[in-house]
Amino acid sequence: MSGAVYAEQSRNPLAGTVVLTEGGLRVGRRTTPPEELQMAAMADAYLRGQWLGGGGSERPLAHIPAGDGIVPVTRVTGSTKPVRVRRAAEFARALGDMAVRHAGGPAAVAALADRARAEGVPLWLARRVAMGPAGPVTVVVDRRTARVDVWSPSAPVVRIRAPYGVSADRRNPGRGLLLTVGETPAMTAVTFTMRKSRRSVIVEIPQRSWELTRADARSSRLT
């Protein structure tokens, strides 16, 4: 196929062949455009001689078989889709090289990786940015590892962890949550009621406290 950096062919029209071009990844009849792939994170692992898998796991590129195999492909959402290909090592190299190009080259990838380390958030996790009263606010949420990271240029980073999982106890939904504001551990009190308008979260550190309440169906109010 013209313009393909990796392509499979079959006489069977129903075969789920894989084709990779600069315009996207086609698996069977479904095409995923480049902007839906986590190019920077895949490029970072690839340049270090690794391949990025689910949950941020990595394995050496040298361990990917030359023949038939499954190669994980990471999306911008942070999720991973296993793709079965006929020439696994060739596909991984083609996708890795393409990821480096789309991420801006090796220097740009290194800069993104350095920034991710400074943020304390792995590069493969999806970052969402919204405008706040004092500038952009970046939010990272990963349900699988029960972690939340929130930061902005004008405020200390807030991190939430649940090392033993999230409690299903509605009487104490905040049980097991570890929250820090900057480097300071915070106390949390979660009020859960059947009426959404009365639900709230209170966060306290020695210097001050905050309360998060429901403003409307689409937003909350922090005081």
Which sequence spans correspond to the domains of the chain? 4-119, 128-222
Q: Which residues lie closer than 8 Å to 181 by C-beta, 6 or more apart? A: 156, 157, 158, 203, 205
Q: What percent of the chain has pLDDT over 90?
A: 65
Q: What pLDDT shows up at residue 155?
A: 85
Burial 111-143 (b: 16+ CB within 10 A, else e): ebbeebeebebbbbbeeeeeeeeeeebbebebe
Per-residue pLDDT tens for 119-172?
Answer: 999 999 999 998 888 889 999 999 888 899 999 988 889 999 988 777 666 677
pLDDT at position 169 is 67
If pLDDT is split at 50, 70 and 90, which confidence band does 42 have?
A: very high
Tokens representing residue 84 in the block: 């079965």
Say what the pLDDT of residue 2 is: 55
Residue 176: partners with Cβ closer than 8 Å, 6 or more residues away = 162, 163, 164, 165, 166, 167
User: Taking the model in full, what pTM does it have?
Assistant: 0.85
Q: Are 95 and 83 in contact (CB under 8 A)?
A: no
The stretch 179-197 carries a mean pLDDT of 87
Q: Judge whether residue 174 has pLDDT over 80.
A: no
Spatial CB neighbours of 64, under 8 Å, sequence gap ≥ 6: 51, 71, 88, 89, 92
Both ends of the chain: CA-CA distance in Å? 58
